[in-house]
A and B are shown apart, each in its own frame.
Chain A
Amino acid sequence: MILRLAFASLAARALTVGMTILAIALSVALFLGVEKVRTGAKASFADTISGTDLIVGARSGSVQLLLYSVFRIGNATNNMTWDSYKDLAAQPEVDWIVPISLGDSHRQFRVMGTTTAFFERYKYRSGQPLAVSDGAVMDDLFDAVIGADVAATLGYEIGAPIVVAHGLASFTEHKDQPFRVSGILEKTGTPVDRTVIVSLEAIEAIHVDWRNGAQIPGQSTPADVIRQMQLEPQAITAALIGTQSRLQVFSLQRAINEYPQEPLLAILPGVALQELWQIVGIAETALIGVSGMVVVTALIGMMATIFSSLNERRREMAIFRAMGARPRVVLGLLVLEAVLMAIIGAALGLALLYAGLFIGQPLIDSAFGLWLPIEPPSMRELWVLLGVVAAGAIVSMVPAYRAYRMSLADGMMVRN
Chain B
Amino acid sequence: MPDPDPILLLEDVRYRWPGRRAFGLHVGQLSLARGETVLLLGESGSGKSTLLSLICGTIAADAGRVLVADTDFAKLSPGQRDKFRAEQIGLIFQQFNLLPFASVRDNIALPLQFAPKRRARVKDPSQEARRLCRELGLPDDVITTRAGTLSVGQQQRVAAARALIGTPPLIIADEPTSSLDAETQESFLELLFAQSRAHDTSLLMVSHDARLADQFDRVIHMTEIAQTLRDAA
Contact = CB atoms under 8 A, between A and B. Distances in A.
Interface in B16-69: 49, 52-53, 56, 58-59
Nearest to B83: A324
B109 A319 contact: no
A411 B59 contact: yes
B114 interface: yes
Interface in A366-382: none
A412 B113 CA distance: 17
Given A12-B101, A325-B114, A5 B83 contact: no
A313 to B, nearest CB: 10
Interface residues on A, range: 20 to 34
A156 to B, nearest CB: 66
Contact of B106 (A8, A11, A326): A8
A321 interface: yes
Contacts of A413: 49, 52-53
A319 B106 contact: no
Given A322-B93, A323-B111, A324-B111, A411 B82 contact: no
Interface string A396-415: 00000000000000011100
Contact of B86 (A4, A8, A324, A411): A324
A268 to B, nearest CB: 64
A50 to B, nearest CB: 59
Contacts of B109: 1
A18 to B, nearest CB: 15
B158 to A, nearest CB: 12
Contacts of B53: 411-413
B55 to A, nearest CB: 11
A8 B98 CA distance: 13
A5 B109 CA distance: 11
A324 B106 contact: no
B113 A328 contact: no
B210 interface: no
A9 B99 CA distance: 9
Of A9, A11, A315, the most chain B CB neighbours within 10 A belong to: A315
Interface in B105-137: 106, 109-111, 113-115
The 6 lowest CB-CB distance pairs between A and B, nearest first, are A324-B86, A411-B58, A12-B101, A324-B114, A323-B111, A8-B101
Interface of B: 49, 52-53, 56, 58-59, 78-79, 82-83, 85-87, 91, 93, 96-103, 106, 109-111, 113-115, 146, 148, 162
